[in-house]
Amino acid sequence: MLKLPNHKSGIAMPLVISFIVMAGFTNHVFADNAKAGSASSLDSIQIYCMAEQGGAAEPDASFTETIIDLAASSDPAQRVSALSQLAEKGSIDAGVVEKILQTAIQDADPNVRGQAVYAFAQQGCGDLFVVLEQALQDTELSVRLMALDSLGADERSVALLKEIVEDEDETEAIKDLAAMKLESLSTSSN
């Protein structure tokens, strides 16, 4: 049960609670408190990776075991290493990739989440745009930058880049990178 701090004013706390309930934020608030500080917008994403069709190489058991061990490490640097290696499409079963990315995309460490976003984009799993769109809502700048960098040249990505550039609430670093990416896309299409 969530314990609320005691306040001297008997009206302030019930007023705040009423506002939260009326605004519909109770599930969000309680979920965030239950997760003990996980501030990722990627917590609700479901990763789906399809096995490659046709002439795909048999999964390499040794490589797979190494990646699984690194991904399960308590050391975030080891988990980042696993994801860096996953970004290179190696001989690993799609189901294993899916499980590792699912865990990593929800990791408490922003470096792991950022690398998971990059690996996800490189692997071409599921609906890339949905994952990138959610990653752009992450509280950590590094995760958002990785998502922004992973956006493609398709119409949806270009529209999202334009939205970011025009968003007054967005950080300058994100807006600048979005503007540079848009400029790069427009010069490469000419």
Q: Whole-angstrom distance between the N-terminal and C-terminal Cα of the chain?
A: 59
d(CA 15, CA 113): 36
User: What CATH number does domain 44-126 carry, 3.40.50, 1.25.10, 1.10.3470, 1.10.287?
Assistant: 1.25.10
Task: Tell me how crowded residue 157 is: count the other CB atoms within 10 A of its CB.
Answer: 20
Tell me the two tokens of residue 104.
């990593």
Work out the percent of the chain whose per-residue pLDDT is above 70: 68
DSSP letter for 56, please: P
Top-confidence residue, 48 or 98 = 98
Alpha helices in 24-171, H assignment, sequence order:
26-34, 61-71, 76-87, 94-104, 110-123, 128-135, 141-150, 155-166
Long-range CB contacts (within 8 A, 24+) of 52-60: 52/94, 57/91, 58/91, 59/91, 59/92, 59/93, 59/96, 60/90, 60/91, 60/92
pLDDT tens figures, 63-113: 999 999 999 999 999 999 999 998 876 678 888 988 999 999 999 999 999
> Residue 38's pLDDT band (boundaries 50, 70, 90)?
very low
pLDDT at 140: 95
CB–CB of 20/29 below 8 Å?
Answer: yes
Tell me the two tokens of residue 129.
């745009």
> Residue 158's pLDDT band (boundaries 50, 70, 90)?
very high
CB–CB of 108/42 below 8 Å?
Answer: no
